[in-house]
Structure 1
Amino acid sequence: MRSRRTTVGAAVSSAVGLILLAVGCSGTASAVKPASSAQDTGTAKPVVLSLATPMGASDEFRAFLQNVRTLSHDEIQISAEFNAHHEEGPDFEEQLLLDVQSGRVDLAALGSRVFDIRRAPALGALTAPLLINSFDAEERVLGAPVAERMIREVDGGGLTGVGLLPGSLRRPFGAGTPLLGPEDYKGRTIGIQESKVADSTVRALGANPQWFGAGSSVAGFGGFEQQLVSVNGSRYDEAGMIGTANVVLWPRPIVLVANTKAFGRLSEDQRLLLRKAARQAVRGAGAELREQEHSALESLCARGQKFAAATPAQLTALRKAVQPVYDQLSRDRRTKEYLDAITALVRDVPAEPPLSCKG
Structure 2
Amino acid sequence: MVYHKKWIASAAILAILAAFPAAAKTLRMAGNFPADHSSSQAMDRFAETVTKASNGDLEIANFPAMQLGGAQENVDQVKSGVIFGTWIGAAYLSGNVPEIEAVSLPFVYPDRETAFRVIDGEVGDALNERLAEKGFLPLGWMELGSRNVTNSVRPVSTVEDLKGLKIRLQPNETHIATFRALGANPVSMGIAEVYSALQQGVLDGEENPYSVIKSRNFNEVQKYVSDTNHFFDFIVLVVNRDQFEALPKVQQQLLREAAADAVAWQRETARAEDETAREALIAAGMEFTEITDEARARMQEASAPVIEGLRQRVDPELIDRVLEEAAK
Same fold judged by TM-score > 0.5? yes
Is the aligned partner of 1:146 residue 2:128? no
| Bigger Cα displacement from structure 2, 314-323 vs 149-158 | 149-158
Give, in whole Å, the separation in 1 of the partners of 2:287 and 2:223.
8
The answer for the alignment partner of 2:14 in structure 1 is none
Q: CA deviation at 1:125?
A: 1.4
Aligned residues of 1:203 and 1:209 also touching (Cα < 8 A): yes
CA offsets, 1:316-344, max 9 Å, x none?
Answer: 1111111111102223553x333333333
Q: CA deviation at 1:73?
A: 5.4
Identity of aligned residues (%): 23
Give, in whole Å, the separation in 1 of the partners of 2:253 and 2:88.
21
Q: CA deviation at 1:310?
A: 2.1
Q: CA deviation at 1:180?
A: 2.8
CA separation of 1:290 and 1:158: change in aligned 2, threshold 3 A: closer
Aligned residues of 2:98 and 2:314 also touching (Cα < 8 A): no
Q: CA deviation at 1:157?
A: 4.8
Give, in whole Å, the separation in 2 of the partners of 1:179 and 1:136.
26
The answer for the alignment partner of 1:129 in structure 2 is 106
The letter for the 1-side match of 2:189 is F
Aligned residues of 1:237 and 1:300 also touching (Cα < 8 A): yes
Aligned residues of 1:71 and 1:273 also touching (Cα < 8 A): yes
The answer for the alignment partner of 1:50 in structure 2 is 28
SS of residue matched to 2:191: coil
Alignment match of 1:163 (pick from 131, 137, 140): 140
Q: How many residues align?
A: 299
Alignment of 1:23-102 (within 5 A): 45-57=23-35, 58-61=37-40, 62=42, 64-65=46-47, 68-69=50-51, 72=54, 74-84=56-66, 92-102=70-80
The answer for the alignment partner of 1:316 in structure 2 is 297
Bigger helix fraction: 2
Is the aligned partner of 1:239 residue 2:221? yes
Give, in whole Å, the separation in 2 of the partners of 1:75 and 1:223.
47
Aligned residues of 1:182 and 1:318 also touching (Cα < 8 A): yes
Aligned residues of 2:139 and 2:260 also touching (Cα < 8 A): no
Alignment of 1:273-288 (within 5 A): 273-283=254-264, 285-288=266-269
Give, in whole Å, the separation in 2 of the partners of 1:238 and 1:178.
16
TM-score using structure 1 length: 0.74
The letter for the 1-side match of 2:278 is L
| Bigger Cα displacement from structure 2, 58-67 vs 205-214 | 58-67
SS of residue matched to 1:258: strand
Give, in whole Å, the separation in 2 of the partners of 1:330 and 1:132.
18
Aligned residues of 2:142 and 2:267 also touching (Cα < 8 A): no
CA separation of 1:268 and 1:145: change in aligned 2, threshold 3 A: farther
Q: CA deviation at 1:282?
A: 4.1
The letter for the 2-side match of 1:188 is L
| Aligned alpha-carbon RMSD (Å) | 2.6
Is the aligned partner of 1:343 residue 2:320? no
Aligned residues of 1:143 and 1:283 also touching (Cα < 8 A): no
Give, in whole Å, the separation in 1 of the partners of 2:73 and 2:114.
30
Aligned residues of 1:190 and 1:209 also touching (Cα < 8 A): yes
